[in-house]
Structure 1
């Protein structure tokens, strides 16, 4: 009998109980901003959940663009997924180190390429370690997978589409960056970018969805309330954005837990929008 996920969020207890199942693929999707050391791949090499494989967000990307970790082509993703031992019938659990910073990006990427048997580990490596569960520095061996990608273009928005949306306001835009970056009271870390936000967008920092002590997700009612307090109408479609398309997926994951799936991600995010050019920028709180 194949392994079924209890939902899109799994507990450390569930993972520990099923960790030896052969059809289970565990992915460490940890990510750090450029210049932060040690890099996430080095952290993984030093310690990770047994059986885990490292999902390198920068490597598994479109390398034909100057923008960071943009979605690859379906053909490229098929190869990446297979190289990680993921097959179309695999059950996948994704985690990151703090709880929900980049795991949502891996979850969203797999779903965007048609793989729905994927869940996020609640609390991530942080909770796993806090509970004294085992970690290893041994790299697991695994057979190559057989993966077929089915790309969902509706999950992604381009700069042109976001520009059109400013006029049409057909979709709400919500930004996962910190309030200081959103309002332009703090400069962007990436050089050359303007400060501020997409006109008309809302702001909900991605870490507002988790317990700051444990890294675990808030309950679904609290998640929904956080979005509503940020000004989001949960009955209308959403575009999530952030600095470079990673933490936007944390918002998409939170909305998914709250029962909302008409959510797309602006993949270029502020790294594209904030470049000098013709994209309009607002500062302040936008209210």
Structure 2
């Protein structure tokens, strides 16, 4: 994998299956009643292991799937047979949704070669490629040595500083939630957005088939949303999942960004944080 894109095509992945240093990770997670693990056990890309986004998270907070400690991540990942120098390909069963969050987490924890499967499992199936069914095999444990890149995380103080102009905030939620016209799916959260934030709905960076837009087509999405690529950028969403889709899209354009881990689950749940309703 010599190129710098954070993506890998289905054809390139298929050509590498069987490589002992290749680790395929099903990162499927859903906000609705669908269960990623159940779907993984029913059908998956050959050799894949399942990464449970909720299980591998910080359980000392009531915020959803916050980043785990480096030690906890390393333990969970090692149990899946993955070392930090392996080639890791992450996919999900939607196309491009939760895979981006797990890609970001692996990179944050020090994995050196991580890609997202462009189009995910739907693209893989649409091309008639082989899938596994039935009980998955148990992986051989490995040692993942973490090296956490804490600078890629934006916390609440970072977001408060961003309000003064330190950074541009890109909100990946749908427009109706961003404007406060639709209630948040998590109870107890206020509706609206952070002052000065720009709305870049995560679906706007995707193609009709669920892959990531590329090149000028992708750059135009950010430009039309008013994003200034010369400024520091922070991505946010409802709970830190689809924010990672924007982080992935920016990485495809060669642009660095931080991700607000708490996202609206934290901001919208605090009485002291300012909220804007409307455009």
TM-score bucket of the superposed structures, by smaller chain: over 0.9
Residue number in structure 2 paired with 1:88: 84
Paired residues of 2:86 and 2:112 also in contact (CA < 8 A): no
Corresponding position of 1:246: 241
- Where does the alignment leave 5 or more consecutive residues of structure 1 unmatched? none
For residue 26 of structure 1, give the secondary structure of its aligned residue in structure 2.
strand
The runs of at least 4 consecutive aligned structure 1 residues that moved more than 4 Å come to none
Cα separation, 2, equivalents of 1:156 and 1:254: 17
Partner-residue secondary structure (3-state), 2:95: coil
Deviation at 1:253, TM superposition (A): 0.3
Q: Residue 114 of structure 1 corresponds to which residue in structure 2?
A: 110
CA distance in 2, matches of 1:123, 1:158: 30
Are 1:220 and 2:218 an aligned pair? no
**Residues 84, 112 of structure 2: 8 Å contact kept:** no
Q: Does 1:15 align with 2:19?
A: no
Which position in structure 2 is the counterpart of 1:31? 29
Superposed, which structure 2 residues align to 1:159-178 within 5 Å?
159-167=156-164, 169-178=165-174
Deviation at 1:203, TM superposition (A): 0.5
Tell whether the 8 Å contact from 1:52 to 1:140 is kept in structure 2 after alignment.
no
1:129-160: per-residue Cα shift (whole Å, max 9, x none)?
11111112241332111111111111001112
Whether 2:146 is the aligned partner of 1:149: answer: yes
May I ask how many residue pairs the two structures share in their alignment? 277
Provide the alpha-carbon RMSD of the alignment. 1.1
1:31-50 aligned at under 5 Å gives the runs 31-33=29-31, 36-50=32-46
2:112 & 2:174 partners in 1: Cα distance? 30
Q: Do the aligned residues in 2 keep the contact of 1:155 with 1:264 (CA within 8 Å)?
A: yes
- 2:278 counterpart residue number: 284
Equivalent residues in 2 for 1:229-240, closer than 5 Å: 229-240=224-235
Query: Which residue, 62, 72, 97 being the options, matches 2:58?
Result: 62
Who is 1:267 aligned against?
Answer: 261
User: Structure 2 vs 1, CA of residues 251 and 16 (structure 1 numbering), >3 Å: closer, same or farther?
Assistant: same
Mapped partners of 2:195, 2:56: distance in 1:
31
C-alpha offsets along residues 9-48 of structure 1, whole Å, 9 cap, x if unaligned? 1111111111111110000111101xx2231111111111
1:142-180 CA-partner distances (Å, limit 9, x unpaired)? 21111111111110011122112212x111000000001
Structure 2: runs of 5+ lacking an equivalent: none
C-alpha distance in 2 between matches for 1:162 and 1:276: 13
SS in 2 for 1:70: coil
Q: Contact 1:5–1:117 (CA<8 Å) still a contact in 2? A: no
CA separation in 1, counterparts of 2:231 and 2:35? 38
Query: Counterpart of 1:252 in 2: which secondary structure?
Result: helix
1:76 lines up with 2:48 in the alignment: no
| CA distance in structure 1 between the aligned counterparts of 2:180 and 2:172, rounded to whole angstroms | 14
The TM-score normalised by the length of structure 1 is 0.94
| Structure 1 CA distance for aligned equivalents of residues 250 and 183 of structure 2 | 28
1:253-285 deviation digits (Å, cap 9, x = unpaired):
000000101x10110000111114101000111
